[in-house]
Structure 1
Amino acid sequence: MVPSAVRAGRVTALIGISDIEAAAARIAGHVVRTPTVPSPGLSALLGVPVTTKLELLQRTGSFKARGATAKLLSLSEAERAAGVVAVSGGNHGVALAVMAAALDVKATVVMPRSAPARSVETAQAAGASVRLTDGMDTAFALVERLRDEGLTLVHPFDDPLVVAGQGTVGLELAADAGELTDVLVSIGGGGLIAGVAAALRARRPQVRIWGVETEGAQAMSQALAAGGPVPVALSSIVTTLSAPSVSRLTYDHVRALVTEVLVVSDREAVRGSLEFAEHAKVWTEPAAGCLLPAARRVVERVGDGARLGLVVCGGNATAADMRAWTDRFEVR
């Protein structure tokens, strides 16, 4: 049975496990089955067993390659010929640029000027046409105009095929991890947590799923408070989590399947990235670093019996980025 969410008297079908399995079969051979490994260092740091799903080792350095590939492989010949367009704070644009080039599809990527310079350069190097705007809201508006001009939109999160592609992270985690009680997933527009939650609810229904946002990039927590997606003011340094609004699709999944969405500060997210490097020996961006301060809260709530799974979503931050952030927040 496909799960559903009830809103305003209507029932909305959620992504089902068969959709995620189909996405997994479609993208096999194009993306990496990333490692799911226990982390002795993080287990010692948090005082409970911790398992990490290392999506920062995915092609293009984040989970975004999964959803982008799932969508690209579904396109008709006419859609491929028209070319594709995406809006991104960094990782989705890079993923679309690289995977579109591999599949011989012309790509246009729209990013805010606040996007990491490395992401812009990587997308351009892959052959994509990169358009820069003053902010994420104007980036989304430009993408809508380009879609109206005939390009095929590959939305970062408001697309069932993309969400199913991201859900393959959860499918692999469910298959490869040992016992888990709680899984933490970062939230930008919500595509990753929607897909992961759908997979885990089907395969490990007793596991609690927690979303994590940073202050100033609180699109999902504000949507939950408002009873639906709303525009949000963006101020977080974590551009890869900075969606101006979640979609109805991702909101419905989170409301139906996720235990709670936790919000941490930018400073905590940067410190979390440093702790990942020191204790887990992996280099994360703050979009993944935010999981550690949230994990501490989950352990406080759940107790010593917690067995955590962390979806380490990406590692596309440069040493210069990290130096600037640690100086800004005086993190040592």
Structure 2
Amino acid sequence: MNLISVEDVHAAAERIKDAAAVRTPLLRCDWADPARPLWLKPENLQPIGAFKIRGAANAIARIPASARANGVVAYSSGNHAQAVAYVAKRFGLRATIVVPENTPTTKIEATRAHGAEVVVVPITDREIVAERLVAERGATLIPPFDHPDVIAGQGTIGLEIAADLPDVEAVLVPVSGGGLASGVATAIKALCPKAAVIGVEPALAGDAAESLAAGHRVRWTDEDRARTIADGLRAAPSDLTFAHLRERVDTIVTVSEEEIRAAVVTLATRARLVAEPSGAVTTAAYLNRTADLPQGRTVAIVSGGNLDQSLLAELLTHPTP
């Protein structure tokens, strides 16, 4: 299977630099362990509140002009939905987004606010319905992770980390479908070859960790993965992303629901960042998996900050259920 290259990531960076994605900074955490310096990569500061805008922008920019009139279709639990809707609007394209019925209301409303048509379906039907809409309309499918252009776009985060902290020793990346980790690992391993790339998953959606340990994809049901509060990390890796994970990610660790909830609070109160549970898993790993992680200069990617106000209030008031 063909993996993307760092050249693909560099090309994506050039392609999306004027397509609404923000170059986010690295934020040094004075409250972290001095023996393990920590920087946060706040992708929650993107215009749609998550890193997904990078992959969506690169994939949409690559659509031939002759195909753009038929619009784009995507399926997503929320952040990719907003990203495709936002970028499609910038390009003047019609966007239809298929979301599972357990998608947070905040993410559905934000997607509609960007002008997209939102189709809500049972969690097991989102890909089937999206493919049907593509066939009916002649639209272009923009998958959330299973596409080289999407992976390359997400990898631009790795380029920025390497440029801003070239002596980084560990990069912590959330893992769901694997597009983010695949792209970031591609860039980091090429530019900072001594750095470890560590994936982080919720234990309740730990299929990628189990798969990497087994050396082959291990199937979990959608219902199993839906148990975690981290709604953006409920997808399973594809053949394409798993091939990248096996080749370029050093390991994947898992964190508990209680640790994720506490990390949201830590980010809000110590780093002054609003992070959704999916974006907080890397901080949860840094705080709770010391024995499983390399020592040294660490970057934790805060992948998104889109969560309902009621959930944020609940977590700040009662971080553990």
Shorter-chain TM-score: which interval? over 0.9
Match of 2:17 in 1: 28
Q: What are the residue-to-residue correspondences of 1:143-154 with 2, within 5 Å?
A: 143-149=130-136, 150-154=138-142
Contact 1:43/1:49 (8 A) holds in 2 = yes
* Post-superposition offset of 1:226: 6.2
Contact 2:145/2:179 (8 A) holds in 1 = yes
The structure 2 residue matched to 1:180, chosen from 151, 165, 168, is 168
The structure 2 residue matched to 1:111, chosen from 90, 93, 99, is 99
* Cα distance in structure 2, aligned partners of 1:157 and 1:229: 18
The residue matched to 2:68 in structure 1 has which SS?
helix
Once the two structures are superposed, residues 154-201 of structure 1 have per-residue CA deviations (whole angstroms, 9 ceiling, x without a partner) of 000000000000000000110012532111000110100000000000
* Cα distance in structure 1, aligned partners of 2:158 and 2:244: 14
Match of 2:234 in 1: 242
Contact 2:262/2:319 (8 A) holds in 1 = no
* Post-superposition offset of 1:51: 1.2
Note closer, same or farther for the CA distance 1:38–1:76 as it changes in structure 2 (3 Å cut).
same
The residue matched to 1:216 in structure 2 has which SS?
helix
Give the aligned residue type for 1:21: H
Note closer, same or farther for the CA distance 1:265–1:297 as it changes in structure 2 (3 Å cut).
closer
Give the aligned residue type for 1:262: V
1:292 aligns with 2:283: yes
Once the two structures are superposed, residues 21-70 of structure 1 have per-residue CA deviations (whole angstroms, 9 ceiling, x without a partner) of 000000012211111221212346xx521011111111201110000000
1:55 aligns with 2:43: yes
* Cα distance in structure 1, aligned partners of 2:301 and 2:320: 27
The structure 1 residue matched to 2:266, chosen from 265, 275, 281, is 275
Contact 2:105/2:308 (8 A) holds in 1 = no
Contact 1:185/1:192 (8 A) holds in 2 = yes
* Post-superposition offset of 1:302: 4.9
The residue matched to 1:42 in structure 2 has which SS?
coil
The residue matched to 1:61 in structure 2 has which SS?
coil
Note closer, same or farther for the CA distance 1:287–1:316 as it changes in structure 2 (3 Å cut).
same
Contact 2:265/2:315 (8 A) holds in 1 = no
* Cα distance in structure 2, aligned partners of 1:326 and 1:36: 24
* Post-superposition offset of 1:220: 1.5
* Post-superposition offset of 1:259: 1.2
* Cα distance in structure 2, aligned partners of 1:43 and 1:121: 39
Match of 1:140 in 2: 127
* Post-superposition offset of 1:216: 2.7
Give the aligned residue type for 1:145: R
Give the structure-1-normalised TM-score: 0.89
* Post-superposition offset of 1:221: 2.0
| Deviates most, 197-206 or 291-300 | 291-300
* Cα distance in structure 2, aligned partners of 1:311 and 1:195: 13
Q: Which runs of 5+ in 1 are unaligned?
A: 1-11
Q: Which runs of 5+ in 2 are unaligned?
A: none
Once the two structures are superposed, residues 191-218 of structure 1 have per-residue CA deviations (whole angstroms, 9 ceiling, x without a partner) of 0000000000000001011101113322
Match of 1:199 in 2: 187
Give the aligned residue type for 1:237: I
Percent identity of paired positions between Structure 1 and Structure 2: 35
* Cα distance in structure 2, aligned partners of 1:199 and 1:227: 23
Match of 2:5 in 1: 16
Match of 1:5 in 2: none
The residue matched to 2:254 in structure 1 has which SS?
strand
Contact 2:49/2:306 (8 A) holds in 1 = yes
Note closer, same or farther for the CA distance 1:79–1:222 as it changes in structure 2 (3 Å cut).
farther
* Post-superposition offset of 1:329: 6.2
